[in-house]
Amino acid sequence: MARSSIHVCVAFVVALVVALVVGGAVEAQEVRDYGITRRGRVPDTQVMEDARAALDRAGVACSIEAARLRGRDERRVPQFEVTCREGPGYLVVADTDAKALSCLVLESQRDRARRDSQSTKGPRCELRANQIVLPLFAAMGAQAGLTCKIDAGRFVGFAPSQGEIYEIGCADESGAWIEKIEDGWTTKDCLLVSAQGGQCVFTNHAEIITSFAPALGNSDLAGCDLRSVRAMGSNGLDRYYEVLCASRQSAVVRFDGQGALAEVIACALADRIGDGCQFSARPRMN
């Protein structure tokens, strides 16, 4: 994760802690009396309108399904929590220069702090829809084009562009990393994630094999008892993988820009593709 990204994220979390914890302590009775329901002094419709305006100022696309006024800081700037139809909700500081942070990011930071035996007193989302996270990961994965049965997810970090990166886990097949961009999502399969030094904690070797093997069906490797596969690199259009079958030495396969298998290359001819073939001739058995 880029150092600048960490600074931006930490700075915003600190601001929220001050706003929601310190500010909340100063005006605890007032916030409690406000409420965010029809029993309070702030109408539900006004909360929705103010939250939507703050999200617009923050540049966040969200079809709000519910909004809650969480409190005000010492400058009387309100903070909202919202749930979004498209995916994770947000905590929003509704200043002139509004800022929003994903509930999944906040919860991930709390989980990381808990694992590191650090304080978990930072801000968190409280609306029920923001605490049931699997449907949120499923919605994001579907928007990113994943068609598997999504059974897990986690926040990975921020891209240099400040886009959020998530790992999506799939039941009995390979998952992916997805990155939020301005007009949608980009995806990176777990084979490529691993080759680039990342880690998919929800995808194991067997799931990778299960997902990759069908792609060999219309080639000289049809019927291959696939034991191992790894990403070797890309030239900007084609992607190359080394594969190892149970009954033969490893080979390199090339997939074109449409994802179709275009060529099977003997390892003797693949020295200049990535780092060349690395699998032993002996089949991997686990």
pLDDT digits (tens, 9 = 90+) for 145-195: 999 999 999 999 999 998 899 999 999 999 999 999 988 899 999 999 998
3-state class (DSSP) for residue 207: helix
| Residue that wins the pLDDT comparison between 89 and 41 | 89
* pLDDT score for 21: 39
User: Which residue type sits at 231?
Assistant: A
CA–CA separation, 252 and 143 (whole Å): 32
In 10 A of CB 25, how many CB atoms? 10
CA–CA separation, 191 and 263 (whole Å): 19
CA–CA separation, 210 and 137 (whole Å): 22
Strands (E), the chain: 64-72, 78-84, 90-93, 99-102, 150-158, 164-170, 173-181, 184-189, 226-234, 239-245, 251-255, 261-266
* pLDDT score for 8: 42
| Token representation of residue 210 | 């299960």
3-state class (DSSP) for residue 26: helix
For 283, which DSSP code?
Answer: P
Q: Name residues whose C-beta falls within 8 Å of residue 117's C-beta, 6 or more positions apart in sequence.
A: none
The mean pLDDT value of the chain amounts to: 82
pLDDT at 142 exceeding the cut of 50: yes
User: Which residue type sits at 19?
Assistant: A
3-state class (DSSP) for residue 159: coil
| Residue that wins the pLDDT comparison between 282 and 235 | 235
Give yes or no for a contact between 2 and 10, defined as CB atoms under 8 angstroms apart. no
CA-based nearest residue to 267, from 248, 242, 285: 242
Residue whose pair of structure tokens reads 């390199």 in the numeric block: 252
pTM more than 0.85: no
Give yes or no for a contact between 100 and 87, defined as CB atoms under 8 angstroms apart. no
Give yes or no for a contact between 236 and 253, defined as CB atoms under 8 angstroms apart. no
pLDDT at 121 exceeding the cut of 50: yes
Give yes or no for a contact between 26 and 39, defined as CB atoms under 8 angstroms apart. no
For 43, which DSSP code?
Answer: -
3-state class (DSSP) for residue 79: strand
3-state class (DSSP) for residue 109: helix
The mean pLDDT value for 6-18 works out to: 44
